[in-house]
A and B are shown apart, each in its own frame.
Chain A
Amino acid sequence: MKSIRDDIARKGILVSDGGWGTFLVAAGLGAGECPELWNVEHPDVVRNIAKSYADAGADIIMTNSFGGSRITLEPHGLARRAPELNEAAARLSREIAGNTLHVLASMGPTGKLLMMGDVAEEQLYEAFAEQAIALERGGADACSVETMAALDEAAIAVRAVKENTALEVVASFTFNMRTDTGYRTMMGVSIADMAAGMLNEGADILGANCSLGPVEMIEVIRDLRAAAPAVPILVHPNAGMPHRADDGGITYPETPQMMASRVPELIKAGANIIGGCCGTGPDHIRAIAAAVRDGLHSAGKS
Chain B
Amino acid sequence: MDDILQRIATCIERGKVNATSPYPPDLKGQDGAHELTKAALEMGVSPSEVLAQGLVVGMNSIGRKFSENKVFVPDLLMASKAMQAAMVHLKPFFESGEAKHRGTFIIGTVQGDLHDIGKNLVSMVMEGGGWEVIDLGVDVSTEKFLDALKSHPGSAVGLSALLTTTMVNMEKTVAAVRTQHPDTKIIVGGAPLTAEYAKKIGADAYAPDPQGALDYLVGAVA
A31's partner among B77, B165, B192 (CB-CB below 8 A) is: B165
Residues of chain A with a CB closer than 8 A to B73's CB: 149, 186-188
Residues of chain A with a CB closer than 8 A to B200's CB: 244
- A32 interface contact, C-beta 8 A: yes
Write the chain B residue with the least CB distance to A35.
Answer: B165
Q: Are B69 and A243 in touch, CB under 8 angstroms? A: no
- B30 interface contact, C-beta 8 A: no
Interface stretch, picked from B97-105, B114-122, B152-160, is B114-122
Residues of chain A with a CB closer than 8 A to B71's CB: 188
- In chain B, positions 82-132 with a C-beta closer than 8 Å to chain A are 111-117
A188's partner among B74, B163, B164, B166 (CB-CB below 8 A) is: B74
Write the chain A residue with the least CB distance to B111.
Answer: A31
- A51 interface contact, C-beta 8 A: no
- A177 interface contact, C-beta 8 A: yes
**B101 → A minimal CB distance (Å):** 25
Interface stretch, picked from B2-10, B37-45, B48-56, B167-175, is B167-175
Known A113-B77, A244-B201; contact A249-B168, beta-carbon cutoff 8 A:
yes
**B110 → A minimal CB distance (Å):** 8
Give the complex CA separation of A176 and B190 in angstroms: 12
- In chain B, positions 158-204 with a C-beta closer than 8 Å to chain A are 163-169, 171, 191-192, 194, 196-197, 200-201
Main secondary structure of the interface of B (DSSP, over half): loop
**B203 → A minimal CB distance (Å):** 11
Residues of chain A with a CB closer than 8 A to B171's CB: 244, 248
B112's partner among A22, A31, A113, A178 (CB-CB below 8 A) is: A31
Residues of chain A with a CB closer than 8 A to B115's CB: 111
Q: Are A25 and B197 in touch, CB under 8 angstroms? A: no
- B31 interface contact, C-beta 8 A: no
Write the chain B residue with the least CB distance to A19.
Answer: B164
* Most A Cβ at <10 Å: residue of B69, B70, B171: B69
Write the chain B residue with the least CB distance to A247.
Answer: B168
B74's partner among A31, A115, A211, A243 (CB-CB below 8 A) is: A115
Main secondary structure of the interface of A (DSSP, over half): loop
**A208 → B minimal CB distance (Å):** 15
Q: Are A32 and B77 in touch, CB under 8 angstroms? A: no
Known A32-B113, A176-B191, A184-B72; contact A250-B168, beta-carbon cutoff 8 A:
yes
Give the complex CA separation of A29 and B72 in angstroms: 34
Q: Are A31 and B169 in touch, CB under 8 angstroms? A: yes
- A116 interface contact, C-beta 8 A: yes
Give the complex CA separation of A222 and B168 in angstroms: 34
Residues of chain A with a CB closer than 8 A to B77's CB: 113, 115-116
Give the complex CA separation of A40 and B29 in angstroms: 55
- B35 interface contact, C-beta 8 A: no
* Chain B interface extent, by class: 20 to 34
Give the complex CA separation of A249 and B168 in angstroms: 6
Q: Are B168 and A248 in touch, CB under 8 angstroms? A: yes
Q: Are B164 and A32 in touch, CB under 8 angstroms? A: no
Known A32-B139, A188-B74; contact A242-B111, beta-carbon cutoff 8 A:
no
* Most A Cβ at <10 Å: residue of B74, B77, B164: B164
Residues of chain A with a CB closer than 8 A to B197's CB: 242-244
Residues of chain A with a CB closer than 8 A to B167's CB: 242, 250
Render A1-36 as a binary contact track against B, CB cut-off 8 A, 1 for contact.
Answer: 000000000000000000001100100011111000
Q: Are A111 and B70 in touch, CB under 8 angstroms? A: no
Give the complex CA separation of A188 and B75 in angstroms: 9
Give the complex CA separation of A62 and B69 in angstroms: 33
Q: Are B70 and A211 in touch, CB under 8 angstroms? A: no
Give the complex CA separation of A187 and B73 in angstroms: 5
Q: Are B168 and A111 in touch, CB under 8 angstroms? A: no
Render B118-151 as a binary contact track against A, CB cut-off 8 A, 1 for contact.
Answer: 0000000000000000000001000000000000
Give the complex CA separation of A137 and B165 in angstroms: 30
- A196 interface contact, C-beta 8 A: no
Write the chain A residue with the least CB distance to B139.
Answer: A32
Give the complex CA separation of A187 and B201 in angstroms: 29
Residues of chain B with a CB closer than 8 A to A188's CB: 71-75
Give the complex CA separation of A116 and B76 in angstroms: 11
**B163 → A minimal CB distance (Å):** 7
Q: Write 24 A-B pairs (CB below 8 A) sorted by A numbering.
A: A30-B112, A31-B112, A31-B169, A32-B113, A32-B114, A32-B139, A111-B117, A113-B77, A116-B77, A185-B72, A187-B72, A187-B73, A188-B72, A188-B75, A241-B192, A241-B194, A242-B164, A242-B192, A242-B194, A244-B171, A244-B201, A250-B164, A250-B167, A250-B168
Besides the known contacts A21-B164, A184-B69, A188-B75, 4 further A-B residue pairs in the complex with CB atoms under 8 A apart: A22-B164, A113-B117, A178-B69, A279-B164
Q: Which residues of B contact A (CB under 8 A)?
A: 69-75, 77, 111-117, 139, 163-169, 171, 191-192, 194, 196-197, 200-201
